[in-house]
Amino acid sequence: MAGPLLRVEGLTVRFGGLVAVNDVHFTVDDGELLGIIGPNGAGKTTMFNAVAGAVRPTSGTIRIGDELVSGKPPERVARLGIARTFQSVRLFKAMTVAENVTLSASTVCPSMAAARARADEVAELLGMTALQQIRVEELPLADQKKVEIARALALRPKLLLLDEMMSGLNQSETRDIIGVIKQLNGDGLTTIVIEHVLRVIMELSHRVLVLDHGVQIAEGPPRDVMRDPRVVEAYLGRSAAQNLGEPA
């Protein structure tokens, strides 16, 4: 497979009169970690939902490899290798960790035995073997977020979409999750991360895409993007952007 793993072209999502995502183009290479940032309401999650099939794009195309993803329902997209987590944790609360992960494994594994084995494998990878028989609702938030990752990984995805994994976590929990994401990406898993905490994005991403009001305003290596006046303006306002420009 030549070319990028994910190719998004002219993606637009309209809700009635509101244009949540406006003509966004980007690609993600195999093994890359792309960060997506933007102020509240910038359209990050909507764009995520479009890639994951949860929202139907108004126009534009999304392809993974040679396969057209846009227009397909979320369960098909998941089976094509795009796995996601939810910003507000959406696990099957009354089920155990093992059941949560086995469930998603069961949609791609030939048998339940294989699905259980896959769940064990993922739990071991994330160091959660001891938690397997605990009901998810009894776990602290940080562990629930890990279960979200585990549930996504059980699908053997080509592309992992992580939506605001750090929200609600303290410093050390954030470090823990960052470690997990780095480890997975280091093992070759292509990942897109949406994050509010800029520091996290700076540390993780190979490349950053900035959205503001649904429009893509900058793209590039994290350091360059952070100096881009348009980005500073979107985050901090116009005067800050001017101050930043002058002393140079």
Partner 1 sequence: MNAVTRLLRSTGGLGLVVLVLVASLPLWFIQTNFVLSVATLTLIFMAASLGWNVISGFGGQISFGHSIFFGLGAYTTAILQVHYHLNAYLGVLLGVVVAVVLAVLLGAVTLRLRGIYFSLATFALTLVFAILTGHYEGFTGGEVGLTLPLLGDAPGEFSFENKVTFYWIAMILAALAFVATWLVLRSRLGLQLRAIQADQEAAQASGVLAFRVKLTGLVISAVPAALAGSVYMQYVGFIDPDSAFGATVATQIAVIAFVGGAGKLWGPVVGAVILVPLQQLLNSSLSAYPAGFNLVVYALVVLVILWIEPRGIMSMRFRRRRARPPTGAAPPGEPDPEPAAAVPSSREAG
Binding site for partner 1 (CB under 8 A): 52, 54, 73-75, 78-79, 83-84, 86, 90-96, 98-99, 102-104, 106-108, 112, 115-116, 120, 130-134, 138, 151-152, 154-155
3-class SS of residue 94? coil
Match 């696990």 to its residue by tokens: 91
Question: Is the CB of 57 or the CB of 231 nearer to partner 1?
Answer: 57
- The continuous run of DSSP H or E covering 27 comes out as strand 18-28
CB of 4 to partner 1, least distance (A): 23
**Beta-carbon neighbour count of residue 3 at 10 Å?**
11
Question: Is the CB of 41 or the CB of 74 nearer to partner 1?
Answer: 74
- The continuous run of DSSP H or E covering 16 comes out as none
Q: Helices 229-236 and 238-245 meet at what angle, rounded to 10?
A: 140
Question: Is the CB of 88 or the CB of 239 nearer to partner 1?
Answer: 88
CB of 96 to partner 1, least distance (A): 6
Find, among 173, 170, 121, the residue nearest to 146 by Cα: 173
CB of 21 to partner 1, least distance (A): 19
Question: Is the CB of 131 or the CB of 234 nearer to partner 1?
Answer: 131
Cβ neighbours of residue 51 closer than 8 Å, sequence gap 6 or more: 6, 8, 62, 69, 77, 82, 161, 192
Q: How far is CA 136 from CA 30, 99, 126, 143, in A?
A: 32, 9, 16, 9
CB of 215 to partner 1, least distance (A): 27
CB of 100 to partner 1, least distance (A): 8
CA separation for the pair 136, 38 (Å, rounded): 31
Question: Is the CB of 118 or the CB of 207 nearer to partner 1?
Answer: 118
Sign of the CA dihedral running 47, 33, 234, 172? positive
Question: Is the CB of 107 or the CB of 170 nearer to partner 1?
Answer: 107
Contact criterion met (CB below 8 Å) for 26 and 207? no
CB of 244 to partner 1, least distance (A): 40
